């Protein structure tokens, strides 16, 4: 584990941010509630959001001073030993938690778009890392799942 903290590793990924904003704007213009007014779904939404934030903090702390947008080494411990993209996993838990907490039909409808966008983004990242780190990244990729 690296010492330190790099705030640039913590922000919400662009895919998540764009679709959350889009869901809010669509919801303001044309409300589309799911009609899910259950305390259990609220608790589940809060739990998903909390779990996502915990994973994001853990991943950011584990990465430490490594700039994830342009790493000088692979981060393979902590949550990166369980998922090659724990930040995307974390923010997706937050996104799904928001679907339930906000009872947002728009966020739910945008979920497949989010999944496709994430898969495309992580694919591009993996191509770059494979070129940059070669066999070391191939070994890591063969041992650790892409998401969960």
Residue 144 in 3-state DSSP? coil
pLDDT at 8: 62
> In 3D, which of 38, 17, 27, 64 has the Cα closest to residue 46?
38
List the chain domain ranges.
37-143
Measuring CA to CA, how many Å separate 123 from each of 37, 62, 117, 120, 130?
37, 22, 10, 5, 10
Q: What is the pTM of this model?
A: 0.89
pLDDT at 37: 76
Q: How far apart are CA 29 and CA 77, in angstroms?
A: 44
pLDDT at 68: 80
pLDDT at 4: 54
pLDDT at 29: 96
pLDDT at 93: 98
pLDDT at 2: 45
pLDDT at 82: 97
Residue 83 in 3-state DSSP? coil
pLDDT at 36: 76
Cβ neighbours for 146, distance < 8 A, ≥ 6 positions apart: 83, 84, 85, 122, 126
Averaged over successive runs of 10 residues, the pLDDT of the chain (148 residues) comes to 54 88 95 86 96 94 84 94 96 96 95 98 96 97 96
Measuring CA to CA, how many Å separate 54 from each of 71, 113, 129, 135?
22, 24, 25, 31
The CB-side HSE value for 24 (13 A sphere, CA atoms) comes to: 9
């Amino acid at each position: 584990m690296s010492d330190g903290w790099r705030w640039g590793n913590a922000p919400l990924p662009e895919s998540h941010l764009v679709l959350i904003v889009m869901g809010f704007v669509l919801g303001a213009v044309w409300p589309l509630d799911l009609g899910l007014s259950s305390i259990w779904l609220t608790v589940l939404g809060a739990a998903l959001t909390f779990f996502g934030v915990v994973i994001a903090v853990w991943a950011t702390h584990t990465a430490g001073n490594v700039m994830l947008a342009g790493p000088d080494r692979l981060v393979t411990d902590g949550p990166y030993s369980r998922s090659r993209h724990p930040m995307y996993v974390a923010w997706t838990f937050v996104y799904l938690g928001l679907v339930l907490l906000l009872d947002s039909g728009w966020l739910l409808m945008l979920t497949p778009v989010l999944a496709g966008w994430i898969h495309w983004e992580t694919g591009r990242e993996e191509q770059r890392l494979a070129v940059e780190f070669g066999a070391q990244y191939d070994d890591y990729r063969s041992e650790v799942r892409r998401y969960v």
